[in-house]
Structure 1
């Protein structure tokens, strides 16, 4: 499969199955497009056939000389022979092995608090309640969750634990106690916990910051961008905005971590489709690690993104990509999560095929100890997998998630971005499409655009160097 597009003056050709990216001139771009139309499964043999040459010449000779066309066709044939263009998909035969392999649990999302001190209007967790009741996780429940993770992690040494909510700082003592318990267990079981906390920052203070910097491998801090944007969607329960309180705390925390091992995480909605301005605002505030995600919601929600918004969203991603290149040239670069792409290695084969690992390698734990495939399924009893006392009591749910991949999703089979997103978010597919093996179309459209921008940025930076 070949995907071609033009962005910011670059003619880009992506060979999907090999992952090779080619930046070409206009004649090369047109020749490859013509060959792909003729036969999307070109081989060295078909490229050398006289019929291929004659058809190519008939279509393009008026624009380019025969010598130019011969030279380009020779280059394309050489790239194909080297496994860099028109590469056959060799991954699909591995899917049976991926499905059958024994998975181990490597990460838990601990819902340390089903409660929150903000009233964010787009919150999928219903201000921390998750379609249920307000509750704080006890130390005993959290301890059993960590024990479960250790017992079900096999030979894997590095284990991930995210303290999540609601707002986890509302149950701060239990967070500290569980970190201490985890550190004790590391020595006994030859494991290493990588702790993360996701916070809105309202309760952040010097003592908490010091502990986070000592114990947390990463911290996710929530802010939606400009003051008016943030305060419209992330107010306190009394309607007052949160921006003025949390921004100085976040700046102090990011600087105390040397602008590393954190990211600031925002959400854009229909109310701020000019979200590139919010990313610029993050940069102006001094942040170096950032993300701003499209809101996911039902079309009936006034803030939800709709299909007619996509052209403007695509323009914003293009603006943002150009801004990132400009800042990098000035030595003022920053990382934007959705544009971070590894063209040399990329995710491992299993990850490319099987996705995020929700329901198999990654589980969410409620304050009372129930297991769900991930935080976005919490509260939906159809996906209740078990609990910390009995373990996994419904393994068929894990089997269903394990069998969900880029080859069971019809839309993924035809998508050039499938090995970058690995099938997308299953929760979004379940809630806003036709089930786990479908795809959330709006999300897919935006993901494809982000992948294109990310590759273009790589091309521009390579060109600059």
Structure 2
């Protein structure tokens, strides 16, 4: 499978199955487009009014060589692999999203967690429940050494003492069970102070900090419950935290909505504030919500990603670059094959835990009783849910089979698929369009920066 596109003056050709990416001249680009459909002599005949015949023949020879080397028009070897892998692989749990607080001190308008309530009640996780969750993780992680625990909410800092107790307990399990915990935390920053920052820098491998960009954008969507904006309070704290972590092992995460489709300006704002690690995600919500992204917004969004890609290149060349999550593609190695085929591991390797100890496939399913898998006392009792998620991969989704980006997004978000189509084996169409554009921009950036070296 081949995907071809033009971007920023580059002719880019992707061989989807091998992962090979080529930047080619005009004649090779046009010849590749015809290569599988007609003979070499017919290609020459079709292109001879546009290019010299010798150049066309040279391009065809180059294409033949790339095909022979397994870099163009390669066969898909992964579909039989994923079936065999599923049969032989014993799934272990390697990551938990601990909902340490189903409560929040902000009232973000787009919050899927209903200000931390998750379709239920406000509650803070007790140390006892969290302890059982870590015990479950250790017990069900098999021979895997590295385990991940994300403190999530709501707002985790509203239950800070229990966070610290659970980190201490997790560390106490490492040596006896030959495990290594990687703790992370996601925060809105309202309660951040010097003492907490010092602890985060000591114990948290990564910290996600939430800000939507420019002051007017952030304060429109992320106010306190009294309506006052949060920007002025949290930005100085976030800047201090990022600097204290040497601008690594964190990222600032924003959300863009219909109200700020010019989101490249928000990314530039992050960079101008001095942040080096950032992401800004499209809001996902029902079409009737006034802030939700709609199909009619896609042309504007595509232009915005192009703008952002050019700004990314410009700043990198000027020595003031930044990392944007969606443009960070590893063309050389990337995730393991199974990860590329099946995605985040929700419902199998990755579980969310509520404050009272219930297990769900991920944080976005919390509160939907159809996806309640078990609890910290009884373990996983709904093995059928594990099987359903385990069978979900790019080959179980019709929309993914012929998509050039399938090995980069791994089939997309299961929760978004379910929320829009009632099954995890579909795909959120608007999200797919944006993902394809981000992949194209990412590869163009690689070409442009390689050109500059």
Question: TM-score normalized by structure 2?
Answer: 0.99
SS of residue paired to 1:356: coil
Residue 366 of structure 2 corresponds to residue 390 of structure 1: no
Provide, for residues 261-281 of structure 1, a one-character-per-residue CA deviation record: whole Å limited to 9, x for no partner: 000000000000000000000
Equivalent pairs counted in the alignment come to: 452
Distance in 1 separating the partners of 2:290 and 2:46 = 49
Deviation at 1:99, TM superposition (A): 2.3
Pick the aligned partner of 2:56 from 54, 69, 72.
Answer: 69
Shift of 1:58: 2.3
- 3-state SS in 2 of match to 1:419: helix
Q: Is the 8 A contact 1:364 1:371 kept in 2?
A: yes
* Structure-2 residue corresponding to 1:55: 42
CA contact (8 A) 1:169 1:199 kept: yes
Q: Over residues 42-79 of structure 1, what are the superposed CA-to-partner deviations in whole Å (9 max), with x where a residue is unaligned?
A: xxxxxxxxx61222122111111221111000000000
Quote the Cα distance in structure 1 between the aligned partners of 2:437 and 2:386: 31
Q: Is structure 2 residue 2 aligned with structure 1 residue 2? A: yes
Q: Distance in 1 between matches of 2:6 and 2:328?
A: 19
Aligned match of 1:15: 15
Measured after TM superposition, the shift of residue 433 of structure 1 is 2.4
Q: 2: CA distance between counterparts of 1:296 and 1:97?
A: 34
Q: CA RMSD in A?
A: 0.7
Give the Cα–Cα distance (whole angstroms) in 2 for the partners of residues 383 and 228 of structure 1: 37
Q: Which runs of 5+ in 2 are unaligned?
A: none
**Which of 152, 162, 168 lines up with 1:180 in the alignment?**
168
Q: Secondary structure at the match of 2:208?
A: strand
Q: Which residue pairs with 2:68 in the alignment?
A: 81
Deviations 1:159-203 (A, max 9, x none): 000000000000000000000000111111110000000000000
Aligned to 1:27: 27
Map 1:122-161 → 2, pairs under 5 A: 122-161=110-149
DSSP 3-state at the match of 1:342 = coil
* 1:317 matches 2:305: yes
Counterparts of 2:299 and 2:86 in 1: how far apart (Å)?
37
1:434 CA displacement: 4.2
Counterparts of 1:421 and 1:338 in 2: how far apart (Å)?
A: 10
Counterpart mapping for 1:24-423 below 5 A:
24-36=24-36, 38=37, 52-100=39-87, 101-423=89-411
Q: Deviations over 1:208-235 (max 9, x none)?
A: 0010000000000000000000000000
In the alignment, what sits opposite 2:423?
435
Is the 1:98–1:354 Cα contact (8 Å) retained in structure 2?
Answer: no
TM-score using structure 1 length = 0.96
CA contact (8 A) 1:219 1:261 kept: yes
Distance 1:248 1:75 in 2: 55
Cα displacement (A) at 1:134: 0.2
Measured against aligned partners, the alpha-carbon deviations of 1:391-441 in whole angstroms (never above 9, x if no partner) come to 000111000000011001001001000000000000000001241110100
**What is the CA–CA distance in structure 2 between the aligned matches of 1:79 and 1:145, rounded to whole Å?**
51
Residues in 2 aligned to 1:53 and 1:20: alpha-carbon distance in whole angstroms: 23
In structure 2, the residue matched to 1:47 is none
1:426 counterpart = 2:422: no
CA distance in 1 between counterparts of 2:44 and 2:246 reads 58
Contact 1:224 1:266 in 2 (8 A): yes
Give distance in 2, aligned partners of 1:330 and 1:291: 21
> Residues 316-374 of structure 1: CA distance to partner in whole angstroms, max 9, x if unpaired?
10000000100000111110001000000011111111111000000000000000000
Secondary structure in structure 1 of the residue aligned to 2:39:
helix
Separation in 1, partners of 2:95, 2:19: 28
Q: Confirm or deny: 8 A CA contact 1:408 1:437 kept in the other structure.
A: yes
Q: Which moved more, 1:54-63 or 1:226-235?
A: 54-63
SS at match of 1:78: helix
1:161 and 1:194 in contact (8 A); partners too: yes
Q: Is the contact between residue 44 and residue 57 of structure 2 (CA under 8 Å) also seen in structure 1?
A: no
The Cα offsets for residues 140-164 of structure 1, whole Å up to 9 and x where unpaired, read as: 0000000000000001001000000
